[in-house]
């Protein structure tokens, strides 16, 4: 019997097995669930995404894969627990973060949805059926009547194809407690999905799952703690959803603050350190070159791999604590040398005589991330700029916002990119793309979403967390100037950085100028009253926040360098104009 186009059946790979039917909402652009999807309503709130304004609930989502934040797994869990998640998901390539959210929902809470990966040709074809009713049964996707080619398969189980060590067996048998046993099941299921044959020891973990996205993430953490969970390796904690030391100043909702505090306590009860920073590379405990670690938080993963030369996958929320409880991680991805090789060359041109400023780095990262949504790029041509650690932080955070790749290389700058031969597989025929300064204009215009001459009432700094060097630079820029009383300027940083700035004598003048400091939390979690409910815009030097901010806050944004941010704080309007180096690059 001939199958019509409207009655197609596609055979893929079932990452999570099951049956589902629903309307297809589809895009060929990756989507970050954290900052891109509301965990309460399922609305797609990434205002830069073509699916913006649509709802996942009751529908089947098809996207190439996720991107951006590791907290996407937490958003997925919250949606499933309140029955507002998609009925199923279809991907073009392996997707770790969102699938892990479903695995946790299934393993810990007994809730699940099917997840299927199609090959690129079939995925591109399924996009044509956007808005149509489709059906999924395990590995098969059907358009039109339910027509299945194979019998229904058994439910997903932990991988039987991973070689277990004695310690792995002991963990699985519950010899280290029930929490470690449950965590080991999650680690093994992820290893099976990744197709790796063994686990490995890691030296430290950075947990991103301490961000409060809703009651699901708290239930998960408390279940592990109440089952006796204790970390087996040194573990740091990402930014949380509140400033533990400034609750009154932050003005957080009491119920929300209590839940967020309980979540943080659940992780510290399990032995994690109360570091509360999204920039763990600023800590004394930062890993060294070649260290095998398990970090979550997208910007931190990219920085660890790229700038420090440590080795970590882009670990989803929840898998991070499971690895901390077991000390074991899948031996795959960037943990393995061959998987750290570049598959795209980015040649940056036209910077020799350009007087660039610090806005160049987030713009370049944002543009390169869009060019390499899933590939590891090697950037050539910026060695002469001698980018600082903070420049690399800004570049990496913007890159990680729009790319799912776990790292990048910069020739002559990052530790593995001594020459092209060290980061390009021998015999590879790599695609090469030239990037001129004028190519960054589109990024500038996209990140500047505010209308011309729109007033500014908040200057947002510290996404990712400000470093001590950045506080020193801000101190110099504010000296001798007067802040406009109608404009707030707020810096987020780690509590250890704040203490160092205090010791260095930097805070008195800055606070006299009007700078407010917030520790423990970060801008992606901050709401009103720190962010005013007004029609005025927010000014930031963060490419990451300029991207996520409109969806998270409902406000429009200006983006520019740190000096422009201080200028905006000293006035109540900001005339949006491109920097001279960018205009001259045309």
Query: CB–CB of 493/522 below 8 Å?
Result: no
- For residues 141 and 335, give the distance between their C-alpha atoms in angstroms, rounded to a whole number: 33
Angle between helices 495-503 and 468-478 (to 10 degrees): 50
Residue 529, preceding peptide bond in cis (omega within 30° of 0): yes
- pLDDT, residue 527, reads 84
**Beta strand segments in 226-362, E:** 235-237, 294-295, 328-330, 344-349
Is 69 a known active-site residue?
yes
**Beta strand segments in 120-204, E:** 133-137, 140-143, 199-201
Q: Name the pairing type of β-strands 140-143 and 133-137.
A: antiparallel
- pLDDT, residue 356, reads 94
DSSP class of 352:
T
Helix, strand or coil, per DSSP, at residue 294: strand
Query: CB–CB of 325/231 below 8 Å?
Result: yes
pLDDT < 70 positions in the chain: 1-6, 145-160, 247-252, 572-576, 585-586
CA proximity to 395, closest of 416, 409, 411, 375: 409
- pLDDT, residue 102, reads 95
Query: CB–CB of 350/581 below 8 Å?
Result: no
**Beta strand segments in 362-436, E:** 377-380, 409-410, 431-436
Structure token pair of residue 467: 């470093």
Query: CB–CB of 318/104 below 8 Å?
Result: yes
461 DSSP β-pair partners:
491
CA proximity to 98, closest of 141, 17, 25, 34: 34
* Domains located in the chain, CATH noted: 8-143 (3.50.30.10), 166-336 (3.30.499.10), 341-444 (3.40.1060), 448-583 (3.30.499.10)
Query: CB–CB of 185/213 below 8 Å?
Result: no
Contacts of the segment 160-163: beta carbons below 8 A, 24+ positions apart = 160/192, 161/192, 161/197, 162/188, 162/191, 162/192, 162/196, 162/197, 162/198, 162/199, 163/197, 163/198
**Beta strand segments in 208-284, E:** 235-237
CA distances from 176 to 35, 227, 229, 234, 321 (A): 36, 11, 9, 17, 15
CA proximity to 314, closest of 361, 374, 388: 374
- For residues 501 and 126, give the distance between their C-alpha atoms in angstroms, rounded to a whole number: 54
- pLDDT, residue 576, reads 67
Q: Name the pairing type of β-strands 19-26 and 13-16.
A: unpaired
CA proximity to 309, closest of 423, 229, 217: 423
Element (H, E) at 551: helix 543-553
- pLDDT, residue 69, reads 87
In angstroms, the first-to-last Cα distance of the chain is 58
Q: Name the pairing type of β-strands 133-137 and 19-26.
A: antiparallel
How deeply is 115 buried, as exposed, middle or buried, from its count of CB atoms within 10 A (0-12, 13-18, 19+)? Answer: buried
- For residues 496 and 493, give the distance between their C-alpha atoms in angstroms, rounded to a whole number: 8
Catalytic residue, candidates 32, 42, 69, 404: 69
- pLDDT, residue 244, reads 79
Secondary structure (DSSP) of 11-54:
E-EEEE--EEEEEEEE-SS-B-STTTB-TTT-BB--TTSTTTT-
Predicted TM-score (pTM) of the model is 0.90
Structure token pair of residue 328: 């074991």
CA proximity to 494, closest of 514, 518, 523: 518
- pLDDT, residue 158, reads 52
How deeply is 382 buried, as exposed, middle or buried, from its count of CB atoms within 10 A (0-12, 13-18, 19+)? Answer: buried
- For residues 277 and 391, give the distance between their C-alpha atoms in angstroms, rounded to a whole number: 18
CB atoms within 10 A of CB 197: 13
- pLDDT, residue 251, reads 59
CA atoms within 13 A on the CB side of 252: 22
- pLDDT, residue 586, reads 62
């Amino acid at each position: 019997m001939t199958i019509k186009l409207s009655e197609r059946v596609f055979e893929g790979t079932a990452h999570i097995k099951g049956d589902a039917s629903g309307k297809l909402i589809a895009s060929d652009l990756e989507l970050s669930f954290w900052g891109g999807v509301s965990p309460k309503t399922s609305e797609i709130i990434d205002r830069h995404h073509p699916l913006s304004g649509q709802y996942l609930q009751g529908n089947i989502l098809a996207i190439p894969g996720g991107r951006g934040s590791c907290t996407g797994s937490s958003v997925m869990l919250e949606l499933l627990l309140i029955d507002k998640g998609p009925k199923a998901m279809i991907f073009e390539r392996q997707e770790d973060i969102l699938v892990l959210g479903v695995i946790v929902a299934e393993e810990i809470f007994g809730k699940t949805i099917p997840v299927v990966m199609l090959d690129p040709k079939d995925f591109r074809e399924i996009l044509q059926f956007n808005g149509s009713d489709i059906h999924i049964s395990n590995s098969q996707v059907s358009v039109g009547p339910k027509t299945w080619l194979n019998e229904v398969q058994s439910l997903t189980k932990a991988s039987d194809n991973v070689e277990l060590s004695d310690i792995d067996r002991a963990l699985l048998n519950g010899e280290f407690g029930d929490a470690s046993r449950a965590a080991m099941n999650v680690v093994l299921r992820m290893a099976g999905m990744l197709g790796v044959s063994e686990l490995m020891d890691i030296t430290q973990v950075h947990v991103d799952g301490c961000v409060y996205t809703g009651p699901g993430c708290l239930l998960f953490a408390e279940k592990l703690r109440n089952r006796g969970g204790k970390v087996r390796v040194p573990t740091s904690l990402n930014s949380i959803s509140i400033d533990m030391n400034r609750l009154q100043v932050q003005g957080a909702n009491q119920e929300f603050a209590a839940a967020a505090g309980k979540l943080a306590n659940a992780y510290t009860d399990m032995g994690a350190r109360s570091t509360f920073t999204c920039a763990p590379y600023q800590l004394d405990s930062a890993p060294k070159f070649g260290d095998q670690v398990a970090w979550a938080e997208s910007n931190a993963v990219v920085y660890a791999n790229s700038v420090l030369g440590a080795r970590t996958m882009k670990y989803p929320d929840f898998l991070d604590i499971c690895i901390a409880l077991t000390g074991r991680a899948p031996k795959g991805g960037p943990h393995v040398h061959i998987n750290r090789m570049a598959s795209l060359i980015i040649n940056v041109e036209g910077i020799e005589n350009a007087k660039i400023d610090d806005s160049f780095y987030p713009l370049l990262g944002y543009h390169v991330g869009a060019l390499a949504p899933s590939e590891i790029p090697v950037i050539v041509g910026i060695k002469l700029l001698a980018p600082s650690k903070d420049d690399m932080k800004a570049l990496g955070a913007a890159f990680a916002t729009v790319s799912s790749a776990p790292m990048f290389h910069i020739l002559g700058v990052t530790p593995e990119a001594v020459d092209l031969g060290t980061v390009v597989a021998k015999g590879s025929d790599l695609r090469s793309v030239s990037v001129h300064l004028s190519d960054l204009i589109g990024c500038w215009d996209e990140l500047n979403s505010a209308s011309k001459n729109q007033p500014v009432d908040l200057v947002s700094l510290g996404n990712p967390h400000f470093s001590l060097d950045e506080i020193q630079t801000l101190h110099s820029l504010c000296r001798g100037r007067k802040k406009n009383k109608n404009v707030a300027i707020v810096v987020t940083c780690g509590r250890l950085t704040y203490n160092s700035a205090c010791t260095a004598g930097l805070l008195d003048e800055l606070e006299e100028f009007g700078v407010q400091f917030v520790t423990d939390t970060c801008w992606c979690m901050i709401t009103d009253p720190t962010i005013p409910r007004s029609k005025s815009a927010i000014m930031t030097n963060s490419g990451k926040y300029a991207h996520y901010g409109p969806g998270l806050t409902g406000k429009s944004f200006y983006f520019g360098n740190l000096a422009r941010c201080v200028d905006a704080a000293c006035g109540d309007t900001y005339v949006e104009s491109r920097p001279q180096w960018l205009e001259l690059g045309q």
